[in-house]
Amino acid sequence: MSLLQLPEEQLLAREQVLSHAYTQWCAAGLKLDLTRGKPSPAQLDLSDALLGPLEGGHLAEDGTDARNYGGLDGLPEAKRLGAALLEVGSDEVLVGGNSSLELMYRVLFFSHFFGLRPDATPWREQGGVKFLCPVPGYDRHFSICQHLGIEMVPVALTGQGPDMAQVEALIGQDPSIKGIWCVPKYANPTGETYSDETVARIAALGRIAPKDFVVMWDNAYTVHDLHTPGDALANLMELARRLGTQTSIFITGSTSKITHAGAGISFLASAPANLARFRAHLGMSTIGPDKVNQLRHVRFLKDESTLRALMRQHAEILRPKFDRVLQRLEAALGGKEIASWTSPRGGYFISFNTLPGLASEVVGLCRAAGVALTPAGASFPYGRDPQDSNIRLAPSFPSLEEIDRSMEVFVLCVELATLRQRLASRA
Amino acid sequence: MSLLQLPEEQLLAREQVLSHAYTQWCAAGLKLDLTRGKPSPAQLDLSDALLGPLEGGHLAEDGTDARNYGGLDGLPEAKRLGAALLEVGSDEVLVGGNSSLELMYRVLFFSHFFGLRPDATPWREQGGVKFLCPVPGYDRHFSICQHLGIEMVPVALTGQGPDMAQVEALIGQDPSIKGIWCVPKYANPTGETYSDETVARIAALGRIAPKDFVVMWDNAYTVHDLHTPGDALANLMELARRLGTQTSIFITGSTSKITHAGAGISFLASAPANLARFRAHLGMSTIGPDKVNQLRHVRFLKDESTLRALMRQHAEILRPKFDRVLQRLEAALGGKEIASWTSPRGGYFISFNTLPGLASEVVGLCRAAGVALTPAGASFPYGRDPQDSNIRLAPSFPSLEEIDRSMEVFVLCVELATLRQRLASRA
Instruction: Give the chain B residue whose CA is nearest to the CA of A281.
Output: B147
pLDDT at residue A36 in the model: 84
Q: In terms of domains, do A19 and A112 share one?
A: no
Instruction: Check if B406 contacts A (Cβ < 8 Å).
Output: no
A346 phi, psi to nearest 5 deg: 180, -175
The residue out of B302, B327, B353 marking a domain boundary is: B302
Whether the CB-CB separation of A236 and A199 falls below 8 Å is answered with: yes
Mean pLDDT of A378-406: 97
Mean pLDDT of B302-309: 94
Whether the CB-CB separation of B335 and B363 falls below 8 Å is answered with: no
pLDDT digits (tens, 9 = 90+) for A90-132: 999 999 999 999 999 999 999 999 998 888 899 999 999 999 9
Whether the CB-CB separation of A126 and A244 falls below 8 Å is answered with: no
Mean pLDDT of B89-95: 97
Residue B237 is which amino acid? M
pLDDT digits (tens, 9 = 90+) for A179-191: 999 999 999 999 9
Beta strands in B17-156 (DSSP E): 32-33, 93-96, 130-135, 151-156
> pTM of the prediction?
0.96
Instruction: Give the chain A residue whose CA is nearest to the CA of B257.
Output: A68
A350-354 and B266-269: which strand pairing?
Answer: unpaired
Instruction: Check if A53 contacts B (Cβ < 8 Å).
Output: yes
Whether the CB-CB separation of B37 and B394 falls below 8 Å is answered with: yes
Q: In terms of domains, do A344 and A296 share one?
A: no
Measure in Å the smallest separation between the Cα of B41 and chain A Cα atoms: 8
A390-393 and A350-354: which strand pairing?
Answer: antiparallel
Measured distance CA(A17)–CA(B95) in Å, rounded? 51
Is position B144 within any domain? yes
Measure in Å the smallest separation between the Cα of B419 and chain A Cα atoms: 38
pLDDT at residue A310 in the model: 98
The fraction of chain A above a pLDDT of 70, given in percent, is 100
Show Cβ contacts of residue B246 under 8 Å, excluding neighbours closer than 6 positions: B92, B206, B237, B240, B270, B271
Measure in Å the smallest separation between the Cα of A208 and chain B Cα atoms: 29
Q: B144–A285: do the CB atoms touch at under 8 Å?
A: yes
Instruction: Give the chain B residue whose CA is nearest to the CA of A47.
Output: B67
Instruction: Check if A127 contacts B (Cβ < 8 Å).
Output: no
Residue B427 has pLDDT above 70, yes or no: no
CATH number for A247: 3.40.640.10
Measure in Å the smallest separation between the Cα of B71 and chain A Cα atoms: 10
Instruction: Check if B97 contacts A (Cβ < 8 Å).
Output: yes
Residue A293 has pLDDT above 80, yes or no: yes
Mapped to the 3 state alphabet, what secondary structure does A250-295 carry? EEEEECCCCCCCCCCCEEEECCHHHHHHHHHHHCCCCCCCCHHHHH
Is position A166 within any domain? yes
Is position B400 within any domain? yes
Residue B117 has pLDDT above 90, yes or no: no
More reliable by pLDDT, A403 or B1: A403
Instruction: Check if B65 contacts A (Cβ < 8 Å).
Output: yes
**Closest residue to A261, CB basis, from B39, B69, B106:** B69
**Closest residue to A51, CB basis, from B53, B71, B285:** B53
User: Which residues from chain B sit within 8 angstroms of residue A74, using beta carbons?
Assistant: none
Instruction: Check if B99 contacts A (Cβ < 8 Å).
Output: yes
Is position B350 within any domain? yes
CATH number for A384: 3.90.1150.10
Residue B426 has pLDDT above 80, yes or no: no
| Of B157, B220, B179, residue with least CA distance to B380 | B157
Measured distance CA(B127)–CA(B176) in Å, rounded? 9
Tally C-beta pairs within 8 A across A and B. 145
More reliable by pLDDT, A420 or B119: A420
Is position B48 within any domain? no
Domain containing residue A77: 71-302
Residue B7 has pLDDT above 80, yes or no: yes
- Count CB atoms within 10 A of the CB of residue B76: 17
Q: In terms of domains, do B32 and B172 share one?
A: no
Q: B51–A47: do the CB atoms touch at under 8 Å?
A: no
pLDDT at residue B4 in the model: 82
Instruction: Check if A261 contacts B (Cβ < 8 Å).
Output: yes
Instruction: Give the chain A residue whose CA is nearest to the CA of B147.
Output: A284
Mean pLDDT value across chain A:
96
Instruction: Check if A67 contacts B (Cβ < 8 Å).
Output: yes
Q: In terms of domains, do A296 and A364 share one?
A: no
pLDDT digits (tens, 9 = 90+) for A247-261: 999 999 999 999 999
The residue out of A247, A271, A302 marking a domain boundary is: A302
Residue B119 has pLDDT above 90, yes or no: no
Instruction: Check if B290 contacts A (Cβ < 8 Å).
Output: yes
Q: For A336, which DSSP code?
A: S
pLDDT at residue B425 in the model: 87
Instruction: Check if A75 contacts B (Cβ < 8 Å).
Output: no
Q: In terms of domains, do B298 and B326 share one?
A: no
Residue B145 is which amino acid? C
Q: In terms of domains, do A160 and A90 share one?
A: yes
Its sign, for the CA torsion B186, B187, B191, B193, is negative
Q: How confident is the model at residue A417 (pLDDT cuts 50, 70, 90)?
A: very high
Is position B53 within any domain? no
Instruction: Please list the alpha-helical segments (H only) found in A28-97.
Output: 41-45, 76-86
Q: In terms of domains, do B35 and B87 share one?
A: no
Mean pLDDT of B303-315: 96
For chain B, the domain total comes to 2
Is position A98 within any domain? yes
Q: In terms of domains, do A249 and A314 share one?
A: no
Whether the CB-CB separation of B384 and B152 falls below 8 Å is answered with: no
| Of B66, B38, B102, B41, residue with least CA distance to B299 | B66
pLDDT at residue A427 in the model: 67
pLDDT digits (tens, 9 = 90+) for B46-88: 999 999 999 999 999 999 999 999 999 999 999 999 999 999 9
Q: How confident is the model at residue A1 (pLDDT cuts 50, 70, 90)?
A: confident
The residue out of A302, A318, A352 marking a domain boundary is: A302
Q: In terms of domains, do A286 and A333 share one?
A: no
Q: Is A206 exposed, middle or buried (0-12, 13-18, 19+ CB in 10 A)?
A: buried
Mean pLDDT of B133-160: 97
Interface probe for B, chosen from A51, A54, A59, A109 (most Cβ of B below 10 Å), is A51
Is position A66 within any domain? no
**Closest residue to A52, CB basis, from B47, B53, B263:** B53
Q: How confident is the model at residue A149 (pLDDT cuts 50, 70, 90)?
A: very high
Q: In terms of domains, do A212 and A272 share one?
A: yes
Q: In terms of domains, do B208 and B315 share one?
A: no
Mean pLDDT of A306-333: 98
Instruction: Give the chain A residue whose CA is nearest to the CA of B65.
Output: A41
- Count CB atoms within 10 A of the CB of residue A297: 22
**Closest residue to B105, CB basis, from A105, A261, A284:** A284
Residue A283 is which amino acid? G
Q: In terms of domains, do B206 and B154 share one?
A: yes
Q: A53–B52: do the CB atoms touch at under 8 Å?
A: yes
pLDDT digits (tens, 9 = 90+) for A25-49: 999 999 999 998 999 999 999 999 9
Mean pLDDT value across chain B:
96
Q: B105–A70: do the CB atoms touch at under 8 Å?
A: no
| Nearest-10 Cα torsion for B240, B242, B243, B249 | 20
